[in-house]
Amino acid sequence: MKCERHLRCKKVFCSGILLLSSACTPDFFVDRGHIDVVRGVPFNIMPPHLFIKKAFKLRADNLTPAQLEKISDAMPFIASLTSGLLSASPNKLADPSLWPLLRNIRNIQALDDSTPMHVKAIQHWQVTERTIEFTIDYVFTKPSQNTVVFRDNYRMAQTQNAWVFFGHPRPKPEGELQCVKGPLAWMACDVPLPRR
C-alpha cells in the first residue's frame, strides 16, 4: 500500500484498525526553523536552541534597527546561555566557569533538579554600544501548586569574537509574576507579586 503524502511508513490493517509501523518518519513534524524579519533585521530562528530563540520578544520594546542588529548578533550566545540555565548542571553551559556568577533559579525556588523548567519570554531589551540587558521569564510547576512564572535579569557584553555573560544588572531577580487571564483567555504575566 502507498503511504500518506508526508509520512514514509507502512500501513497495516488489523481488525479494521489502521496501524502505522514504528518505522514511520513523520517529517512534517520536524521544526527546521525560519527567518524572522523585524524592522528589516533578520533573525535566524534555527536549531540549536530553536524554542529558546522563539521566546525572544523583539517587537514590543521599540528597538531601532541598529539595536536589533546587535540582538541578532548576540542571539546564539543568549540562547546558549539560557539553555544552560534551564538545566541543573553547570556542564550544560558553554562556559561552566560562569555558574558561580549566575543566579540559580532552581536554588532560589527550591526546585528539584528533575522539575521541568521552560522559557516563556526573553524581553525588556536595553541595548547600548557594548552591552545588552534583558529579562527571562521562566515557567515551571512547583509540587502541589499552580504554574509559576519567575523573572530574572541578565547583561551580556560584547568581546572581540563573542557575547558573554556580564552579570545581573539588578541585585535581585524580579521574582514570581502575577498572571492575569486576558479577554482572549491568554495569560498575561508581568507584574511581580508582592514580596513576602
Q: Which fold has domain 31-192?
A: Nuclear Transport Factor 2; Chain: A, (3.10.450)
- C-alpha cell at position 143: 509540587
How does pLDDT run across 172-187, given as a tens digit for each residue? 999 999 888 777 767 7
pLDDT at 188: 77
Q: How many angstroms separate the Cα of 180 from the Cα of each of 118, 128, 184, 186? A: 19, 32, 11, 8
**Structure pTM?**
0.80
pLDDT at 28: 58
pLDDT at 113: 87
What residues contact residue 55 under an 8 Å CB cut-off, 6+ apart? Answer: 119, 120, 121, 122
What residues contact residue 122 under an 8 Å CB cut-off, 6+ apart? Answer: 52, 55, 56, 57, 78, 82, 134, 135, 136, 137
pLDDT at 8: 44
pLDDT at 12: 42
Please, where in the chain does CATH 3.10.450 lie?
31-192
Cα–Cα distance for residue pair 126/60, rounded to 1 Å: 12
